[in-house]
Amino acid sequence: MQPSRPPPSLQRLTILCVDDEAVALSIRKSLLERAGYHVLPALNADQALQIFRANHIDVVVSDHLLPGATGCEMACTMKLAKPEVPILLLTGVVDPPPGTEHVDRFINKAEGPDKLLKAIAELTSAKVPLTSTAPFLMKYPAAPREDSDQCVATMAHEINNPLNSLLSLLYSADAEPGMTATAHGYLALAREEVKRLAQLVRAALHGHRDDEPRQEADVPQLLWSVIALYKSSFESRGISVETRGCSGGNLAVYSGPLRQMFSNLLLNAADAMPKGGRLHARVSNACEWSGQQRRGLRVTFADNGDGIPTPNIQRIFEPSFTTKGAHGSGLGLGLVMSVVRKHSGSLHVRSSTECGHSGTIFSVFLPATHVTGSPA
């Protein structure tokens, strides 16, 4: 889907856009101008306040971590001067920073341009004057956090800045004339992958906390979308992918981690076929092979690659174990196992290194309370 422009009445609304990183500011300015807004850029809080006082501003879009002052502190001063102007704060940290009582909307950078443009449209279509008379605290910032918390916040900010810029560039590229339907599809997949990367970074920086809830998803379509990401790469390496789905393939899953698991299994299979080969990916309605014999879905990846030597089968899920030498981290299959456990599922591996009959099959069972169809 191509980016949409605001209605005619919003075409020339003026946005004060603040970011201390020149590249990020330029990209966001271009994004907003493409959407039909007039944009006044500022690289710090002092410059932003001068522009704010000297011009008519319809909405402020600002980064939070600015040199000399935070976005929240700047917002406090702005609200004292023009309380009717809505202020939208962008940040790379997971939780809203302190002092957001003077901010009308808080958005994590990883949420992407769609969320940003939607929030701006909502704020400018219904401005509500504020009557806050809280004193300006620019010279008296909040008490510093613990060093470890500050380090996490800074790292999150530094990582999410380029991710946000990448999302904005992908969004803008999607609006370029002459793009084919296939190209639009690739860009949509790329945006989803960047968002997932942002989620992984956020979880890693906050003690591996992943707040994503289970949501109903079409598991076969989830797998096909991941395969589509690697289709061109696989074809260039002489790897053909055959897929087979099932009806009634909806389950309540953690979509992000599941996509990452599919990605790791696909890439592992490809690495096992350096001279090309065949990869079969199948999703079927199934019954658990042992234990409670729960019903659910079985996702199978089968390749005709080199196979895994028997002594290595018991070690492939160890965090540091890899057969790829300096090119491997040993984290891929460990992550696969953690995602299987997160879904209370099970995983089986069969492999052969016999000449002419080599290959590996990974079979993942995802349980559900109810899945339609016959067991496979």
- Nearest CA to 340 among 364, 363, 319? 364
HSE at residue 111, side-chain half, CA atoms within 13 A, is 15
Least confident of 55-69, 77-91, 154-168, 349-363: 154-168
Whether residue 159 has pLDDT greater than 60: yes
Q: With bands split at pLDDT 50, 70 and 90, how would you rate the model's confidence at 199? A: low
Q: How far apart are CA 283 and CA 273, in angstroms?
A: 22
In the predicted structure, residue 75 carries a pLDDT above the cut 80: yes
Q: Which of 48-52, 174-178, 305-309 has the highest mean pLDDT?
A: 48-52
- DSSP code for 40: E
Strands 38-42 and 14-18: parallel
Position 196: which residue type? R
Does the structure show a pLDDT above 50 at 187? yes
What is the model's pLDDT at position 321? 58
Q: Which pLDDT score is estimated for 186?
A: 76
Residue with tokens 């005619």: 8
Instruction: Count the Cβ atoms, other than its own, within 10 Å of residue 65.
Output: 21
Q: Mean pLDDT, to the nearest integer, of 127-145?
A: 36
pLDDT (tens digit per residue) in 230-283: 888 888 889 999 999 988 889 999 988 898 899 889 988 998 999 999 999 999
Weakest-pLDDT range from 141-155, 181-195, 324-338? 141-155
Q: How far apart (Å, rounded) are the C-alpha atoms in residues 143 and 37? A: 37
- pLDDT greater than 90 at residue 194: no
Q: Which two structure tokens, joined as six digits, stand for 35?
A: 């959407």
Strands 359-367 and 346-352: antiparallel
Q: How confident is the model at residue 136 (pLDDT cuts 50, 70, 90)?
A: very low
For residue 11, is pLDDT > 80? no
pLDDT confidence bin for 351, thresholds 50/70/90: very high
> H or E stretch including 231?
helix 219-236
Which helix (H) or strand (E) segment holds residue 297: the answer is: strand 295-303
Give the pLDDT score at 108.
78
User: How many helices and strands, by DSSP H and E, does the chain display?
Assistant: 10, 14
DSSP 8-state class, residue 52: H
Placement of tokens 């309540």 in the chain: 252
The better pLDDT of the pair 199, 48 is held by 48
Mean pLDDT of 90-103: 70
Give the pLDDT band of residue 140 (cuts 50, 70, 90). very low
Query: By percentage, how much of the chain surpasses pLDDT 70?
Result: 74
